[in-house]
Amino acid sequence: MNTENFISLAKSCGFNVAEPLDVNTLEFLESVREACSADRCRNYGRSWACPPACKELGEMRRTVSPYTHGLLLQYVGDREDSFDFEAMEEAEANCKKAFYAMIDALKEQKADFMGMSAGTCTRCESCTYPDAPCRFPDRLYPSLEACGIFVSGLCKANGVPYYYGDGKIAFTCAVLWKE
């Protein structure tokens, strides 16, 4: 599949934004991983997709290195104001729905790809971490932040908006592949 096919697939899955990602702009920053330990999202140490359970940055760099192409994917939703948590939760759920639909479609096509989601994994109502193995390890995708990626910087490096104005909220994912 080429970039145009990936963009078309992303849009059909529900993303409003699907733009080429230069894989050379992926930076795996320890400072981003350290920010995870502040546990603002309440998933640090509670999910297989988040630190400290997900791959260390060196292993993440090695995992990503064979991939030559990528897309930045965004679901951009509307919100009344910065306290409209219902709209934020709805936009995040729509982003995850689009992400999982794309992942499933890529698996059906037997594509060689890697995905990085927005936020923690939400496939299960409660994660088994750290008491038991992941129920779906073949469907586990860490977030960009868990990979140590400063998302707004990645967007900027690839000419993709990160902030769409006061009435909007964006969630960003990425898919990498070999062509």
Per-residue pLDDT tens digits for 20-79 = 999 999 999 999 988 888 877 788 888 999 999 988 899 999 999 999 999 999 999 999
Question: By C-alpha distance, which of 70, 68, 52 is closest to 142?
Answer: 52
To the nearest whole number, what is the mean pLDDT of the chain?
93
List C-alpha distances in Å: 38 to 32, 69, 111, 172.
Answer: 10, 32, 36, 21
Nearest one of 2, 54, 15, 63 to 33, comparing CA atoms = 54
Helix locations, the chain, DSSP H? 3-13, 30-36, 57-64, 85-108, 151-157
Q: Whole-structure pTM over 0.75, yes or no?
A: yes
Percentage, residues of the chain above pLDDT 70? 100
Q: How far apart are CA 136 and CA 123, in angstroms?
A: 8
